[in-house]
Chains A and B, each alone.
Chain A
Amino acid sequence: MTVEFSPQAKREFKKTLARYPHKEAALLPVLHLAQREFGVLSDEVLEQVAELMDLPFSRVKGVVSFYTLYNTREVGRHVIRICHTLSCALNGGEEVIEHIKKRLHIEVGETTPDKKFTLLECECLGSCNTAPVMQISDRYYENLTLQQVDQILDSLE
């Protein structure tokens, strides 16, 4: 299967390039764009990105492996990132993680069989005043209680 950016994504690609004096500098935002487009940054997708960016595949792959927000494996429709750094841990972050693991019957790093949720731990989300905190897709959920976690998970399609 070959992957192909949509016309709209191609337009966004061009707009992104225009922000930099060197094409290579656009790699991080272009990878974000590819992830929005294809969900997972598979090797096929990365080959496509490498071609568009005039970069060797290995160079693109090396960048992807450095950062935590790029998905190189299949993920669920909702990626749950729970902060497990100190301020959240002091306010029950571990308890929230254990609760979600039990509720979804998965370990950290796994995806539910129905491909609805992927559970990840992440480092400080910069919202320590509202600990414990988790991010699902683009949204922050703050001051979590176990009850709220249940409601949030129930509310997602």
Chain B
Amino acid sequence: MEDKILLKYIDVPDIQKIKVYQKHDGYQGLAKALKKHKPDEIIELVKASGLRGRGGAGFPAGLKWSFVPKDSGKDVYLCCNADEGEPGTFKDRLLMEKNPHQLIEGIAITAYAVNCHQAYIYIRGEFSQAMKVLEQAIAEAYEHNYLGKNILKQGFHLELSLHPGAGSYIAGEETGLLESLEGKRAEPRLKPPFPASVGLFKGPTVINNVETLSNVPHIIMRGPEWFKGFGTEKSTGTKLFCLSGHINKPGVYELPMGIPLKELIFNYGGGIIGGRKLKAVIPGGSSTPVLTADQVDVAMDFESIQAAGSMLGSAGVIVMDETTCMVDALANLTRFYSHESCGQCTPCREGVSWMAKIVRRIEDGKGLEGDLELLLDICDNISFKTLCPMGDAAIGPVVSFITKFRSEFEDHIRQGRCPIEKDKSIKVRG
């Protein structure tokens, strides 16, 4: 059985060009959708496929689309979230740079399903190469009437534009993204109302991740049953796993949902650099709770990782070997979150920067007795007390690192120094 969906044609030369894409089933899904299905049928097919959002939350895509009101009288918008910024995640950039038409086709089908005539790709401002590729591909798609007026003579009309971000993690949060697309600071909105009813320019809006949308043409072409042949019962399809850190073969691996983390690291990723021992793994991007080396038997699907106390998130797998100082690693992550807090909510703005300072002082040998309790207390005061999930994203690593590697934190405080020999740690390769 074939084992890839999204990366199947990734190595075909010039697959970025529309002529080559067309030769590899390109835009067949869109043609089928427009010619053979009503919009509602597309939603039902995607619901039946079990496709869940690949941006982090895993919300069923078809269900999300079905929340768009049919009779609001307002313009409906579709936003592709290409603001890939969760540390450890680098799959959407690959999809955009290597197979842009797959994404454009997915956007066109999704727009048809929710009766949207204006779609945007909100892309990180840093992704210059992906922007160039997408601009070219969008122009080609217009020329071939896969975008624009009366698409494939089926009466459907869609405009698609790129919207470059300008450097902000929180713009990847869906309502922060909407604010940013409206030309404002990317400060997340209070929910409800949810974007499906009041979103971009106050219109009903669907926001989906690049990987989610890229799956759509295949589901329409091959059917939900075929798609459900990949993965587990509740986490269907394949997933792009991003392997990075102390790993021999870092990269993006497309594998069925539910593959054991151990197999991902030791088989596909070629194991740990220098034959060292595994110490810890962040399984789903930097905000997901860390797993210890003896937890790697877990299957990589939404339910199994949740049962193990973490999250599949964006499947950004960050591998840390035995030379890693967990306090140093946490200091890095808390600094990241304090830098990226938008500042609207006091618990996140103040709490996360306090956490960053405290973890830093522990690593610098200036930690105080009671600092760990203080950190956990701050986490408690952030949890569920912010407008958006950023507060909880920031505490995910703090609680799990302290809980699972407590003695290492205590050693730092007791000894007044970092006990990990830094000269043994990995330096620049090569």
Chain A residues in the interface with B (C-beta under 8 A): 19-22, 24-29, 31-32, 53, 62-63, 66-70, 81, 84-87, 89-92, 95-96, 122-132, 135, 138-140, 143-146
Contact = CB atoms under 8 A, between A and B. Distances in A.
Given A125-B126, A126-B89, A129-B243, A91 B316 contact: no
A93 B329 CA distance: 13
Given A66-B186, A90-B245, A126 B168 contact: no
Contacts of B426: 90-92
Nearest to A55: B183
Interface in B71-103: 75, 84-90, 92-93
A139 B126 CA distance: 9
Contacts of A139: 128
A28 B93 CA distance: 20
B88 A87 contact: yes
A80 B264 CA distance: 34
Contact of A95 (B169, B246, B427): B427
A70 B183 CA distance: 14
Interface stretch (B51-59, B302-310, B333-341, B411-419): B333-341
A126 B159 CA distance: 28
Q: Which 5 A-B pairs have the closest CB atoms?
A: A68-B167, A27-B183, A92-B428, A128-B244, A67-B166
Interface in B239-280: 242-246, 250-252
Nearest to B427: A92
Contacts of A86: 87-88, 245, 282, 286, 318, 329, 332-333, 336
6 contacts: A67-B186, A86-B332, A124-B336, A131-B250, A138-B128, A145-B428
B430 A126 contact: no
Contact of B90 (A21, A32, A123, A126): A126
A126 B201 contact: no
Interface string B315-357: 0101010001000010011001001101000000000000000
B87 A85 contact: yes
A156 to B, nearest CB: 17
B23 interface: no
B430 A145 contact: yes
Interface residues of B, number: 60
Contacts of B126: 69, 81, 122, 125-126, 135
Contacts of B329: 86, 89-90
Given A90-B318, A90-B320, A92-B426, A129 B182 contact: no
Contact of A25 (B87, B181, B282): B181
Contacts of B250: 128-131
B182 A67 contact: no
B180 A95 contact: no
Interface in B155-212: 159, 161, 163-169, 180-186, 201
Contact of B318 (A62, A84, A127, A128): A128
A32 B428 contact: no
Given A68-B168, A126-B124, A91 B428 contact: yes
Contact of B244 (A27, A29, A32, A131): A131
A30 to B, nearest CB: 8
Nearest to A92: B428
B28 interface: no
B75 A21 contact: yes
Nearest to B83: A126
Nearest to B125: A69
Given A20-B161, A28-B165, A126-B85, 20 more contacts: A22-B201, A24-B184, A28-B183, A66-B185, A85-B332, A86-B88, A86-B245, A86-B286, A86-B329, A86-B332, A87-B244, A87-B245, A90-B324, A91-B246, A91-B426, A92-B427, A95-B427, A123-B339, A129-B250, A145-B430
B21 to A, nearest CB: 23
Contacts of B427: 92, 95
B381 interface: no
A89 B332 contact: yes
Given A32-B125, A32-B166, A85-B87, A25 B183 contact: yes
A56 to B, nearest CB: 13
Given A21-B75, A28-B164, A123-B87, A90 B246 contact: yes
A25 B203 CA distance: 14
Interface in B203-242: 242
Given A24-B183, A132-B428, A31 B166 contact: yes
A69 B131 CA distance: 16
